[in-house]
Amino acid sequence: MILDGKCPSGPLSEKWDKRCRELKLVSPANKRRYKIIVVGAGLAGASAAATLGELGYNVEAFCCQDSPRRGHSIAAQGGINAAKNYPNDGDSIFRLFHDTVKGGDFRSREANVYRLAMLSNNIIDQCVAQGVPFARDYAGYLDNRSFGGAQVSRTFYARGQTGQQLLLGAYGALSRQIKAGSVRLHPRTEMLDLVLIDGEAKGITVRDLVTGKIESYSADAVCLCTGGYANVFNLSTNAMGSNVTATYRAYKKGAFFANPCFTQIHPTCIPVSGDHQSKLTLMSESLRNDGRVWVPKMKGDKRPAHEVPEAERDYFLERRYPGYGNLAPRDIASRAVKEVCDEGFGAGSSGRGVYLDFADALKRVGKEKIKERYGNLFEMYEKITGEDAFKQPMRIYPAPHYAMGGLWVDYDLQSNIPGLFVLGEANFSDHGANRLGASALMQGLADGYFIIPYTIADYLARTTPGKAGTDNPEFKKSREDVETFTKKLLSVKGRKTVNEFHRELGRIMWDNVGMTRSEEGLKRALKLVPELRAEFLENVKVPGSGADLNQELEKAGRVADFLEFAELMARDALLRNESCGGHFRAEYQMPDGEAKRDDENFCYVAAWEFSGIDNAPELHKEPLKFENIELAARSYK
């Protein structure tokens, strides 16, 4: 099937206005008759739930954590992009749009990205009004810094905790609606199934993580804002609880999963220190504003950094990408780091790391200024490694960080299942094959504050409120399915723990579906993953019962989904016989090692339809058209 993103016709800059004019409205008196479920309480979820509640809808909001202030958006460090052009350095909505499409290696939808760039300015206004303490200059105006893949300074920031401050803004707005009674909050509750009535999304099945009770919630529409799936690699910068369960189970109910192989490996993370490692910690991309990346010119050089003279250092990003230098986009920087380490130039005892050196910046602007800009990041680095980055360079290595892929949505953020909307990282829409830094926060908030309130009304206006209650047989069936699966996990009583399986899956994925992929490796993964999955169902050990708080059971359910999803990811990567953005296939590269895109055959979104766990999923394509930007080879040189 050829999918249609339903983008409005007409000039790029008028598309969203045009769509807004076409969209149906729900009158204030009628809004309270509609119920909307919002799953997830990160930036996308909290902003959507708050805004929909404020408009007068009845909102049921769900999150796994104990409080909606803890979604993993909170860990975003560096900043949020907007086309304000406050620094007068040549930025514009079109340039932000252009940079984002180019950064995504021409695998995103033009109309969506342009809308995102337009709304970016409203987001900054909104957040300032909420009291987000963005950095200011001495005259009291907002300050900006630069991020990867841009030649202008358009990133707004609140020290190294921009995600935290934006999320607290959205959490405040959400708290206000909870107090007002328009949003009912369900913390420590995990969505385990999507319920369809007559082919439309009308509710969810959840597990109360404290009592273990499996419960149904019905609504007129469902919004999934459940984040990304980078934990399929086990070790990633995501929170321990980040998972694919909500989106994957929606996929199993018929929602298309788009571009699952587009995952982002972030170049600047603290390297792995041992087998016990449970997660990887990101060091913000903003550090590359002042830090210079280098390795010794001599292979296997084990001298401490300060003993390597200037002439014997290779500033490989500056050398290879003089136009952008240390601020080359993430996919390109990550690959360059991996390459120099693979070739044996890596720093540190493991050789899996490169230096991020602040010595020049410290000389140029002084320690106080660097502390003001990145103080908390330096502290964080010291706590984990025991090293002081003011005295010696940081050691960094790439780590899985973000999922550009996600559930397929049209221009209205509605999936192919009517009534199912997908927001933020959980959808696939705006970042193509690679996301630029400081754009995830922008997308989450654009979706939640400014897009969904308009587009969901159009769907609701065409439906009768309260169409199905939880007494509908579909809900009962869904509850039974979830209960059966829970019982199954508990009854295996095997010998290996959930973590052991997750670690093994992570190794398979990192080795074969990680930064560099090949046909051989992907086929290996397609053989190993189903084997591991079969072993999981026969040999996993989940202690305790389903009748109370059981963290191993929660993890087991999530890893079970990762074990299925991993196969989809490998399949998608195998199909895409090209290199683009974060998806790098060893067979498809330029003579100089850069990614070789194939626009003739792969300029489309690959959207997969589930057709049973033992069958290959069906592929649907949404062709991508570029009418406003020339489809050109991406160069950062």
Partner 1 sequence: MNLTLFVWRQKGPAEKGRLEQFNAKDISPEMSFLEMLDTVNEGIIKDGKEPIAFDHDCREGICGMCSQVINGVPHGPQEKTTVCQLHMRNFKDGGSIYIEPWRARAFPVIKDLIVDRSALDRIIQAGGYISVHTGGVPDANAVLVSNDDADAAMDASECIGCGACVAACPNGSAMLFTASKVTHLAMLPQGQVEAARRVCVMTEAMTQEGFGNCSNHYECQAACPKGIRVQFIAKLNREFIRAQFKGARRESPQ
> Using the rule CB under 8 A, is 551 a contact of partner 1?
yes
Is the CB of residue 170 less than 8 Å from the CB of residue 49? no
Using CB under 8 A, which of the segments 138-146, 335-343, 507-515, 602-610 binds partner 1?
Answer: 138-146
> Using the rule CB under 8 A, is 497 a contact of partner 1?
yes
Could you tell me the smallest distance in angstroms from the CB atom of residue 364 to partner 1? 21
Binding positions for partner 1, 259-288, rule CB under 8 A: 273-274, 276-279, 281-282
Phi-psi region of 157 (alpha: psi -120 to 50; beta: other; left: phi over 0): beta
Binding string, residues 351-390; x marks residues near partner 1 by CB under 8 A:
----------------------------xx--xx-x----
Tokens of 319: 């050398």
Binding positions for partner 1, 407-466, rule CB under 8 A: 449-450, 453
Could you tell me the smallest distance in angstroms from the CB atom of residue 490 to partner 1? 12
The residue behind tokens 């953020």 is: 413
Residue of 145, 330, 533, 634 with catalytic role = 330
The Cα 602–Cα 103 span in angstroms is: 17
Cβ distance to partner 1 smaller for residue 275 or 600? 275
Q: How many Cβ atoms from other residues are within 10 Å of residue 275's Cβ?
A: 6
The Cα 339–Cα 470 span in angstroms is: 54
Cβ distance to partner 1 smaller for residue 7 or 556? 556
Is the CB of residue 103 less than 8 Å from the CB of residue 329? yes
Q: Which of 62, 97, 134, 147 binds partner 1 (CB under 8 A)?
A: 134
> Using the rule CB under 8 A, is 50 a contact of partner 1?
yes
| 330 is a catalytic site residue | yes
The Cα 270–Cα 219 span in angstroms is: 43
The Cα 257–Cα 566 span in angstroms is: 12
Residue type for position 522? L
Cβ distance to partner 1 smaller for residue 227 or 521? 227
> Using the rule CB under 8 A, is 133 a contact of partner 1?
yes
Binding string, residues 66-95; x marks residues near partner 1 by CB under 8 A:
xxxxx-x-xx--------x-x---------
> Using the rule CB under 8 A, is 161 a contact of partner 1?
yes
Could you tell me the smallest distance in angstroms from the CB atom of residue 153 to partner 1? 15
Q: How many Cβ atoms from other residues are within 10 Å of residue 183's Cβ?
A: 26
Taken as a whole, the chain contains a residue count of: 637
> Using the rule CB under 8 A, is 518 a contact of partner 1?
no
> Using the rule CB under 8 A, is 21 a contact of partner 1?
no
Cα dihedral sign, 169-19-258-108? negative
The residue behind tokens 């192989």 is: 261
Could you tell me the smallest distance in angstroms from the CB atom of residue 443 to partner 1? 16
Residue type for position 621? K
Using CB under 8 A, which of the segments 177-185, 218-226, 322-330, 580-588 binds partner 1?
Answer: 177-185
Q: Beta strands of 57-168 (E only): which ranges?
A: 58-62, 80-81, 155-156
Q: Which of 548, 593, 633, 637 binds partner 1 (CB under 8 A)?
A: 548
Q: Which of 90, 140, 591, 612 binds partner 1 (CB under 8 A)?
A: 140
Q: Which of 89, 125, 511, 587 binds partner 1 (CB under 8 A)?
A: 125
User: What is the rounded (10 degree) CA torsion for 321, 322, 328, 332?
Assistant: 0
Q: Which of 150, 158, 482, 624 binds partner 1 (CB under 8 A)?
A: 158
Cβ distance to partner 1 smaller for residue 187 or 444? 187
The Cα 395–Cα 445 span in angstroms is: 32
The Cα 118–Cα 96 span in angstroms is: 9
Is the CB of residue 194 less than 8 Å from the CB of residue 254? no
Residues with active-site annotation: 330
